[in-house]
Amino acid sequence: MKEKVNIEKLFADKMKDLKPMVDPKAWSAVNSGLMNSIAVKSGFTILTKTIIGLSAASFISIATYFVFKDSNIEKKTAIIKKVDPKISEVVINDSSVDNITADKEPNKPQEIKEKDVILPLNEFIYPKEHLSQEDEPLILKERTEPFIKIEEEVEKTIIAKEEQKSTVIIEETTQNATATNFVFPNVFTPNNDGDNDLFFMLEEASMNECTAFIYGPKGNVVFKTNNLNFKWNGITESNNSAEPGNYLLVIIGSDGKGNPIRYTKKFRLIK
Amino acid sequence: MDESTLIKKCLKGNPKAQKLLFDRYSSKMLGVCLRYAKDTDQAYDFLQEGFIKVFTKLDKFKGDGSFEGWIRRIIVNTALDQLRKEIKLKKNTSIDDMYLDVEQTLYQVDDFFEQDLLKLINEMPDGYRTVFNLFAIEGFSHKEIAQELNISENTSKSQFSRARSYLKNKLEELGIEREG
Q: Do A30 and B114 touch (CB under 8 A)?
A: no
Residues of A in contact with B171 (CB under 8 A): 7
pLDDT at A263 over 90: no
Residue type, position A257, single letter = K
- Nearest chain B residue to A40, by CA: B56
- Nearest chain A residue to B73, by CA: A100
pLDDT tens for A158-213 read: 555 444 444 444 334 444 444 466 778 888 888 777 777 888 887 766 666 788 88
Residues of B in contact with A26 (CB under 8 A): 26, 30, 44, 47-48
Rounded to an integer, what distance in angstroms lies between the CA atom of residue A204 and that of residue A182?
Answer: 8
| Pairing label, strands A245-254, A260-269 | antiparallel
CATH number for the region B3-86 comes to 1.10.1740.10
Buried b (16+ CB within 10 A) or exposed e, A203-224: eeeebeebebbbbbbeeeebbe
Is the separation of the CB atoms in A172 and A267 below 8 Å?
no
Tell which B residues from 72 to 101 touch A, by Cβ distance under 8 Å.
74, 77-78, 81
pLDDT tens for A93-125 read: 444 344 444 444 444 444 444 434 333 333 333
Sign of CA dihedral A61, A66, A71, A74: negative
> ipTM score of the complex?
0.80
pLDDT tens for B22-68 read: 999 999 999 999 999 999 999 999 999 999 999 999 988 988 889 99
Domain residue limits, chain B: 3-86, 90-180
CATH number for the region B90-180 comes to 1.10.10.10
| Residue ranges of chain B with per-residue pLDDT less than 70 | 87-104, 176-180
- Outline where B13-141 has alpha helix (H): 15-36, 40-56, 67-89, 91-94, 114-123, 126-132
Is the separation of the CB atoms in A83 and A59 below 8 Å?
yes
Please state whether A210 falls in left (phi above 0), alpha (psi between -120 and 50) or beta.
beta
pLDDT at A244 over 90: no
Query: Which DSSP symbol is given to B137?
Result: I
Shortest Cα distance, chain A CAs vs residue B109, angstroms: 6
pLDDT at A225 over 90: no
Is the separation of the CB atoms in B46 and B85 below 8 Å?
no
Closest residue to B136, CB basis, from A12, A103, A117: A12
Q: Determine what percent of chain A is predicted with pLDDT higher than 90.
A: 0
